[in-house]
Amino acid sequence: MFNGSDSLEVLIMSSNFLRYVPRSLPSSIYRLHLKSNKLEKIPSGVFDTLTQLRELYLQNNLLSNEGMENETFSQLTSLEYLDLSNNNLSVVPQGLPRGLILLHLERNSIRSIPGDALTACRNLEYLLLHNNQLHSHSIHHAAFKGLKKLHTLHMYNNQLERVPRALPRRAKTLMLLHNTINVIERNDLVFLYTLTELNLSYNRLTSPKLHREAFRKLRLLVTLDLSGNALHFLPLGLPRSLQVLRVKDNQLNSIPEGALQGMAKLRDINLSHNQLRLNSIYQGAWMELSALTTLDLSSNQLSHIPSDLPESLEYLYLQSNHISTVPATAFEGTPNIKGIFLRFNHLLAHSVKESSFKHLTNLQVLDIGHSSHSNPSGASFRREEEEDEEMEIMEEEVGEGFAS
């Protein structure tokens, strides 16, 4: 079939009805596309001549663990990219190529990770295991042992009841959202020294089950997402390295004294869709955040505009609260502000002082909903309906293939 194709480098046979991998593939190819076929089995030996192959796409087939032998990929010594997503795998396969850098295993029915399935993949950097059926106890304590280059691990949309033990110690990005994690103990994250992004949103965490020292070793953490849990107060002991903090869609009714102390790098905090009142936020909380540019307190129970806003603030989201007045001094301390969002409050025309905005020379957007005002500083008044906020799934798409 491929006679005379010794110079072929890229072979695309996707979206056909192939039930088996063609034999005698040209040894010169470095990229092979077999996705979206009807493949159920890949016998050992079928790839043995493909010593130059760097990228192999097998997603959207019918492959199972029984349909692949331990030696199926053993001769693919140059393989760096393997996509087995959206198949019928129940276990992380054995015999994976040692040179893999990126491994797609998402959207299978994977229930367990054996202790020796990945340990030979010493060059692995990206491991995508989201949308499977993993439980915490089904991940072997040595599953990630020796994977010193593994920096991105996606395990969201599984059935994890707690943070898995023995996570890769060099991880930088850890996605655990949309599981059933209901507790984080003191030492669950203690070895993740290099972590910069941690997403624990949409689990079942409550304030009593989130240890106040759980984050103490995460001194490089930049982004933390705790949205969509059942926290009643902002956790204490948050890393001072944080730049982005998201705790929206919880049951927050308190920001306790010192919760934001020392967080001089924090520039974006989202506390929307909670139950916060002004008297439940300790005095001076926002002034401590000297780098803060975005503060989202929308959909809470605030009766006034906070009086201790930091000078660095650029965007303030206060829509859907109980605010009934905007005093002349409301924004005296925020000369750099660019956007103020006050839609869906209890504001009337006479309760908003136009002098509140005249000194705000950087103001670009002033959204006060259906109130009738003149334009005090060249800011545009948005009157269109607010769009429903979409839940952001932080899946970084790793492009199909590497640069050739």
Which pTM value belongs to this model?
A: 0.90
Domain ranges in the chain are: 1-181
pLDDT more than 70, % of the chain: 90
Question: What pLDDT, in 10s, does the model give residues 319-332?
Answer: 999 999 999 999 99
In contact, 116 and 145? CB cutoff 8 Å? no
Q: Three-class SS of residue 354?
A: helix
pLDDT interval class at 381 (50, 70, 90): very low
Architecture of domain 1-181: Alpha-Beta Horseshoe (3.80)
Is the pLDDT confidence value at 111 over 60?
A: yes
Q: Cα angle vertex 164, ends 161, 255, to 5°?
A: 70
Q: Output the CA torsion 72→77→78→80 (10° steps).
A: 60
Is the pLDDT confidence value at 198 over 50?
A: yes
Question: What pLDDT, in 10s, does the model give residues 210-223?
Answer: 999 999 999 999 99
